[in-house]
Structure 1
Amino acid sequence: METRQKQLAAWCSLVLEYCRHHRLYALDLQEAQESVLFNNRQIQRKLPSEVVIIVLEELRKKGNVEWQDKGKNRCLVLWRRPEEWGNLLYQWVIKVGLTNTVCTLYELVNGEDTVKEEFHGLEEWLMLRALQCLQDEGKAEVFGVGEGQGVKFF
């Protein structure tokens, strides 16, 4: 049983690192099944889909995966949780002196000032969740809808 737990932990770590490296925020199980993540063509070995689901379920329990459908065919992968993204973003806000300043969502995700930051290019849904975490902590206020969304940092 201990060996199985170690294998599961290793797979979980591998999935998160793979997604982080390739900046993947979602996995389609059929596509993932054929990717190098779960399929080693050189030695002709493939992780069975039932085991892939077990690994992803373990990541769900840890808060790193959210299923997008009841059939467990697609999932969001949170290789960094929203509160972690929020903390990273807020550290940058403090560093560059943007407290008491309003920024648009577009500026944060795609702006020239954030190009060297890890959150540059972050998917909008995940940035919004990170900002919501900051808002819950009283560090920011999110306002607007769609293209006009912005945030004020405190």
Structure 2
Amino acid sequence: MSERAQQLADAAKERGIRIAVAESLTCGLLASGLGEGTDTESWFAGGVIAYQTAVKESVLGVRPGIDPCSAECAEQLARGVRGLLDVDVAVATTGVGGPDPQDGHPPGTVFLGWETADGSGHRELALSGSPEEILDQTVERAIALLDELVGD
């Protein structure tokens, strides 16, 4: 577990905050990274891997026709998993890992969505590297965002 992920785990456990994730781009890597820590069951409720558009829509309530590589999709994914798993904080990942562009978006175009009881939002990232590097960077950024949200 990374140092940042351990900080997140400690803060979430200390504050009694439950976390969930919705993953498209990262396809389970974020949940796997979060699950490496001790006492994970006390703060990490789980996640939903929604790679296909139909799953995003039917399981997490993403509105049909939304660009899957967009801020709007990322926020709706986070909102959907927060409601589905009844947690305090949710983060979602979506975007293009590469190596090729997809639907007019260059590789490394990534959106992180988040939702808490106080509101929702997103971060747009322009990452570079191989597909593996883009996925690793996305997971690192998502953990950093969760750490910020839990620490606030």
TM-score tier (shorter): under 0.3
Structure with greater proportional strand content: 2
Larger radius of gyration: 1
Structure with greater proportional helix content: 1
TM-score for the superposition, normalised by structure 1: 0.27
